[in-house]
A and B are shown apart, each in its own frame.
Chain A
Amino acid sequence: DAGITQSPRHKVTETGTPVTLRCHQTENHRYMYWYRQDPGHGLRLIHYSYGVKDTDKGEVSDGYSVSRSKTEDFLLTLESATSSQTSVYFCAISSSGGTDTQYFGPGTRLTVL
């Protein structure tokens, strides 16, 4: 299994509070991705990174920001959490981007009350 961890694994928070999710990899892969998974929608890309300090928006980026200061860490921040951001969040890594296999972390279940 690829070395990908996500923290926390579960989190309950209140509307309006900031939340940061962390993805850590030990594979030295260049590309890192954040997805959210919701019933009926499959996986939707929030943001991705193609190198340290290089990030880009995905399909559902509103209300989210990301940072990547080291190859191994990719942070997802909800500046002011809303109930619509209740979801399961997955981090993924890829060596060569869209032409290569993605490896997924175990997911973070976030509930916003």
Chain B
Amino acid sequence: AQSVTQPDIHITVSEGASLELRCNYSYGATPYLFWYVQSPGQGLQLLLKYFSGDTLVQGIKGFEAEFKRSQSSFNLRKPSVHWSDAAEYFCAVGTTTGNQFYFGTGTSLTVIP
């Protein structure tokens, strides 16, 4: 069965520090992978996506993610976090069968000055 695991429920980082949010997926076929960000009271916004090709993908707001098939991971990174990055982050996998998406439970990011 398809599933997405985000092991970190909550992460706190200092402004200017680097960030890595973990995501592991379980899916038998080629995964279509996404990272979304949700600010309080808002809907989800796409940060980046991986479909094929280069395993390091760049997204908006200075985020990047690396797909590692051997580890079934798609971790999100940012070299220097800004206070405005405080939000909830969701990893998702899209499926070709059934055309559904499966989301992780999210990681809440707090940025301290």
Contact = CB atoms under 8 A, between A and B. Distances in A.
Contact of A41 (B43, B102, B105): B105
A104 B101 contact: no
Contacts, number: 68
Interface in B38-90: 41-46, 49, 51, 90
B44 A104 contact: yes
Interface residues of A, number: 27
A56 B98 contact: yes
A42 B106 contact: yes
A contact patch SS: strand
Interface of B: 6, 32, 34, 36, 41-46, 49, 51, 90, 92, 94-106
20 contacts: A33-B101, A42-B90, A42-B104, A48-B100, A58-B100, A90-B43, A94-B99, A97-B99, A97-B100, A98-B95, A100-B32, A101-B34, A101-B49, A102-B34, A102-B101, A104-B44, A104-B45, A105-B43, A106-B42, A107-B42
